[in-house]
């Protein structure tokens, strides 16, 4: 009985805890966002959340690829659990220098690739084996736009699959991944109290039922 009750109580903690830590540097915020503590930014847990949006003007309107202008507009339009003010990641290095070209560039996406998810230069992030990959979904095999402009016609992008940063024409169709400055979990809208109450009653009922069945 004690083991069953403990499992149910753990489920309650999981459902009602808005913050679930994976490790000291990556913290899941709800089901939509991940806070990168070392950079003090929040990134969407979905790496292709723009797929099918009105900004999706790639090879088709459901693949998530966008021109640079559309990618910036998409990020700026986001409202995630009441949090606005999203942007594309920067191509500058974490120390403010750069941007650099090639492998091992520690831009915001580069930091996530190399420092947090165990990526190696030229190696597929999908085979890194890092458990924190489970915090993210729909990581695409292709380039992701950054918000850093290079020239009037080009901007920086990061090939997240293999950890390579380069410059692309703004008219190219590439993927977009949005970030937010700071911890979005501090201002995100939690589920309605009534919904939480119903979940609580249901789970407490499970505890009671399990206790009765064991007596």
Taking the complete model, does pTM exceed 0.85, yes or no?
Answer: no
What are the residues whose beta carbons fall under 8 Å from the beta carbon of 13, sequence distance 6 or more? Answer: none
Residue 88 DSSP one-character state: P
Residue 54: count of CB within 10 angstroms of its CB: 11
Q: CATH number of the domain that 167 lies in?
A: 3.10.100
Higher pLDDT, 2 or 193: 193
Residue 151 lies in a domain: yes
pLDDT at 60: 87
pLDDT per position as a tens digit, 61-118: 899 999 999 999 999 999 999 999 999 999 999 788 999 999 999 999 999 999 999 9
Residue 35 lies in a domain: no
Q: Which has the closest alpha carbon to 44: 213, 203, 185, 187?
A: 185
Residue 56 lies in a domain: yes
Residue 177 lies in a domain: yes
Residue 40 lies in a domain: no
CA 66 to CA 72: how far, in whole Å?
A: 9
pLDDT at 157: 98
pLDDT per position as a tens digit, 193-211: 554 455 556 556 554 555 5
Tokens of 124: 């597929």
Q: Which has the closest alpha carbon to 103: 171, 25, 172, 158?
A: 158
* Residue 167 and residue 155 in contact, taking contact as beta carbons nearer than 8 Å: yes
Residue 208 lies in a domain: no
Q: Whole-number mean pLDDT of the chain?
A: 84
pLDDT per position as a tens digit, 45-58: 999 999 999 999 98
Write out the residue range of the structural domain in which residue 115 sits.
45-181
- Give the largest CA-CA distance in the chain: 74
What's the total number of domains in the chain?
1
The percentage of the chain sitting over the pLDDT mark of 90, rounded to a whole number, equals: 69
């Amino acid at each position: 009985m004690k083991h069953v009750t403990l499992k149910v109580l753990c489920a309650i903690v999981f459902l009602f805890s808005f913050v679930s830590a994976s490790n000291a540097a990556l913290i899941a915020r709800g089901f939509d966002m991940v806070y990168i503590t070392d950079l003090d930014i929040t990134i969407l847990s979905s790496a292709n959340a723009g797929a099918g949006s009105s900004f999706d003007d790639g090879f088709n309107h459901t693949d998530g690829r966008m021109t640079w202008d559309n990618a910036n507009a998409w990020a700026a339009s986001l409202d995630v659990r009441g949090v606005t003010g999203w942007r594309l990641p920067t191509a500058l290095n974490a120390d403010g220098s750069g941007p650099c070209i090639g492998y091992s560039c520690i831009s915001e996406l580069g930091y996530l690739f190399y420092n947090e998810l165990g990526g190696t230069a030229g190696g597929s992030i999908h085979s890194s084996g890092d458990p924190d990959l489970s915090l993210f979904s729909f990581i695409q095999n292709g380039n992701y736009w950054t918000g850093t402009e290079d020239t009037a016609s080009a901007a920086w992008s990061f090939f997240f699959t293999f950890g390579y940063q380069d410059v692309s024409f703004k008219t190219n169709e590439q993927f977009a991944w949005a970030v937010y400055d700071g911890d979005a979990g501090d201002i995100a809208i939690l589920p309605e109290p009534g919904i939480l109450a119903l979940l609580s009653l249901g789970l407490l009922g499970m505890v009671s039922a399990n206790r009765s069945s064991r007596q």
